[in-house]
């Protein structure tokens, strides 16, 4: 896959298709001619709200009374990170304290 101009649809498609690894590093590793830095610059300037993703996927969801949708707000501990731009101090329910994470 080659992306000439990176946009919101590209990022949303990646989030929808990735089952395990949602990092921009992983995305850059799988798309030809797209660097981690380019994605990072795009995300810094773009205001992506959860409702954007929801509007894209809600028509794809099949309702079932036994079905569940699970939202995960996991904070990944990055205590040894010193130069990762997106790392910030935030509360981790897992560690029951504020940690460096993303």
98: part of which helix (H) or strand (E)?
strand 97-101
Q: Convert the pLDDT of each residue in 13-66 to its tens digit.
A: 887 777 777 788 888 888 888 888 888 888 888 877 778 778 877 888 888 898
How far apart, in whole angstroms, are the C-alpha atoms of residue 77 and residue 74? Answer: 9
**Structure confidence at residue 13 (pLDDT):** 80
Asked if residue 1 has pLDDT above 70, the reply is no
Reading the block at residue 97, the tokens are: 């304290």
Q: Where are the domains of the chain?
A: 1-62, 72-102
pTM of the model: 0.45
Reading the block at residue 99, the tokens are: 């940690």
Q: Is 28 left (phi over 0), alpha (psi -120 to 50) or beta?
A: alpha
Asked if residue 100 has pLDDT above 80, the reply is yes
């Amino acid at each position: 896959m080659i992306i000439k101009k990176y946009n919101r649809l590209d990022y949303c498609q990646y989030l929808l298709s990735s089952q395990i690894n949602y990092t921009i590093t992983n995305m850059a590793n799988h798309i030809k001619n797209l660097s981690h830095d380019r994605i990072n610059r795009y995300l810094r300037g773009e205001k992506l709200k959860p409702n954007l993703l929801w509007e894209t996927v809600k028509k794809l969801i099949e309702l079932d009374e036994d079905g569940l949708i699970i939202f995960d707000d996991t904070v990944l501990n990055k205590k040894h990170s010193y130069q990762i731009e997106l790392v910030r101090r935030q509360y981790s329910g897992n560690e029951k304290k504020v940690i460096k994470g993303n």
